[in-house]
Chains A and B, each alone.
Chain A
Amino acid sequence: DVKVTQSSRYLVKRTGEKVFLECVQDMDHENMFWYRQDPGLGLRLIYFSYDVKMKEKGDIPEGYSVSREKKERFSLILESASTNQTSMYLCASRLEPVWGAASQPQHFGDGTRLSIL
C-alpha cells in the first residue's frame, strides 16, 4: 500500500517566516504534487515534480517554491509567509508508467493545516 507522509499535521508560523513543509512517499513514484485546499475552492495545484530535481508550476505558484533532491521527498517552501497562505496543504504522489501517467491515481498524505499569524 502506498504511504505518503507529511511531517506535520498542524503548524503555526508568523508572518514573514520561511516555512518548510515536508512530504515523503515510500513507493518509488516518479511524480509528486503539492496542493492547497480552501473551503469552497476545492484543491488547487501549487507545484508538481516529474522526477528528481525537476519541477513545474501549477495553477497558484506565487509565494511558493519547491525542492526535490531525492525521489522520495518533495518539500514545499513558503519564502516569506503571509496570512493569506493559511490553509490546508496536501501532498500527493503518482506512478508514471511508460504509457503515460494521466490514468494513474494520485495518492495523498493526511495534510498539514498551516496557520500564519
Chain B
Amino acid sequence: AQSVTQLGSHVSVSEGALVLLRCNYSSSVPPYLFWYVQYPNQGLQLLLKYTSAATLVKGINGFEAEFKKSETSFHLTKPSAHMSDAAEYFCAVSGSGGGADGLTFGKGTHLIIQP
C-alpha cells in the first residue's frame, strides 16, 4: 500500500524567504509523485509532477521539487515566498502499475506568508 507523509500541518515563512514543504512517501513500486495547491474555496491545481524523467522537477509559480529515491522524499521548494503563495499544499502518490486507481494524498500543509 502507498502512503504519503507531509511534515508540518502549518508552515510559516516571511515574504521573500525560502519555502520548503516536506513530503515523504512509501510505495512498493516506482512512484509517480504530484504536488497540488488549493487556494481558499477552490479545487486543487497541479503544481508539478514527477514521472521518472528528471529528478528535479520545475512547476508553475516558481516552485520546484526534487525526487530523492534514497530518502523516499519529494520536497517542494521556492526560493522567495510571495504573499500570493499562501494556500494549502498537498503531496500525492500514484502507483506505476497503470489502471484507474486514485491518488493517495498527504494530509496537507497550510503555508502562511508573514509580511
Contact = CB atoms under 8 A, between A and B. Distances in A.
B41 to A, nearest CB: 8
Interface stretch (B68-76, B78-86, B103-111): B103-111
A42 B3 CA distance: 12
A49 B9 contact: no
Given A42-B105, A103-B94, A4 B99 contact: no
Instruction: Give the contact-size bracket for chain B.
Output: 20 to 34
Contacts of A99: 98
Given A42-B105, A42-B106, A42-B107, A102 B42 contact: no
B107 A45 contact: no
Contacts, number: 75
Contact of A110 (B42, B46, B52, B102): B42
B43 A90 contact: yes
B63 interface: no
Given A45-B103, A50-B100, A108-B44, 15 more contacts: A30-B100, A31-B100, A42-B106, A42-B108, A43-B44, A45-B102, A56-B100, A96-B100, A101-B98, A101-B100, A103-B49, A103-B52, A108-B43, A108-B45, A109-B43
